[in-house]
Homo-oligomer: A and B are copies of this chain.
Amino acid sequence: MNYVVALDVGGTSMKGGLVTRSGEVTPFAGHPTERERGPAAVVAAIRAYVGELAGHGRARYGGEPSGVGLAVPGIVTSSMAVYSANIGWRDVPAEEFVPGDVPARLGHDVRTGGLAESVFGAGRDTADFLFLPIGTGIAGAVVVRGEPYGGVHGWGGEIGHTTVWPSGEPCACGQIGCLETYASASAVSRRYERRSGRAATAKEVVTLAASGDPAAREVFDEAIEALAISLGSYTLLLDPSLIVIGGGLGEAGAVLFDPLRERLAARLAFCEPPELRPSALGVHAGMLGAALLGWQAAGEPGVGADWTPERLLGAH
């Protein structure tokens, strides 16, 4: 048929959609992942949601989906969800997420978003870049020679847990001074509350910093400096042409990008900083990347090369 089912499975909710061969997207309201019910219930909930989306597809396009693509957290191969600390599953074959016998393909959540940014998003004109969504946590998709790279076991891209200040604050992961513990949205919010005694979201802290609130400025400055240190080291190690910033903080605009550009340049003495660019696909990157996986599962890996963010996201 002419469409695939695409699903982005996060720790709290899953976002699904139908995507045709020509890049027509029908997004659906998210469902809760309900990981507190245990891994078997999550697998059953995903399978049910895939079935529900296929039902919408039959109604709309008059036939079964050609494939199913799923972006999931943790350690993943294209045919197996190997492990997720977040959800708790181990070794779930791709077929278990799909009712019936439609071919399915899995991908790592962040790298699947990076795949979408690479094929038709902010990285479509380059083969070597970092996709860095900054949200509750921070993880990256290292795109090398045109393909997201996950290393030997699939742990690659954990830039949020690279060390920024070796004798700094303890991170929830058990390490010391990780990027994530200074620069994620939840870190910015938590650190502001600790310093000021007032609760605020990361977006509010950014606005407060811009309006001169001293505690907000300190916290935001430290987040920017942490990002600059980490992205400087990334640049020296992997010499990317581009860093694509996504997630909630990636939508902050010039208030984030301007000081980050300046600090990153200041950290690099002998090489040019790469361009910084906001994500083109925003929160839809994972689901749209999953659609590419769905078309790969269908045996049509070339589908998606001519999609554009405007066409994909225009209707939303």
Chain A residues in the interface with B (C-beta under 8 A): 85, 126, 128, 140, 142, 144-145, 149-159, 161-166, 171, 173-175, 225, 229, 232-234, 236-241, 267-271, 274
Contacts and interface: CB of A to CB of B under 8 A. Distances in A.
A161 B270 contact: yes
Nearest to A151: B239
B239 A175 contact: no
Given A157-B237, A237-B156, A165 B162 contact: no
A276 B199 CA distance: 45
Contacts of A238: 142, 149, 151, 156
Residue among A152, A159, A174, A237 with the highest chain B CB neighbour number at 10 A: A237
Nearest to A241: B152
Nearest to A130: B237
Given A142-B237, A156-B238, 14 more contacts: A128-B151, A144-B145, A151-B239, A152-B240, A153-B271, A158-B239, A159-B236, A159-B237, A161-B236, A161-B270, A165-B166, A166-B229, A173-B270, A234-B237
Given A152-B240, A241-B152, A271 B166 contact: no
A241 B154 CA distance: 11
Residue among A158, A164, A232 with the highest chain B CB neighbour number at 10 A: A158
A174 B240 contact: no
17 contacts: A85-B270, A144-B149, A152-B241, A153-B239, A156-B237, A158-B271, A161-B270, A162-B233, A162-B236, A163-B229, A163-B233, A163-B267, A164-B166, A165-B166, A173-B269, A174-B270, A175-B267
Contact of A174 (B150, B157, B269): B269
A150 B233 contact: no
Nearest to A154: B239
Contacts of A159: 236-237
A154 B171 CA distance: 34
Given A165-B166, A174-B269, A175-B269, A236 B155 contact: yes
A274 B156 CA distance: 12
A234 B236 CA distance: 12
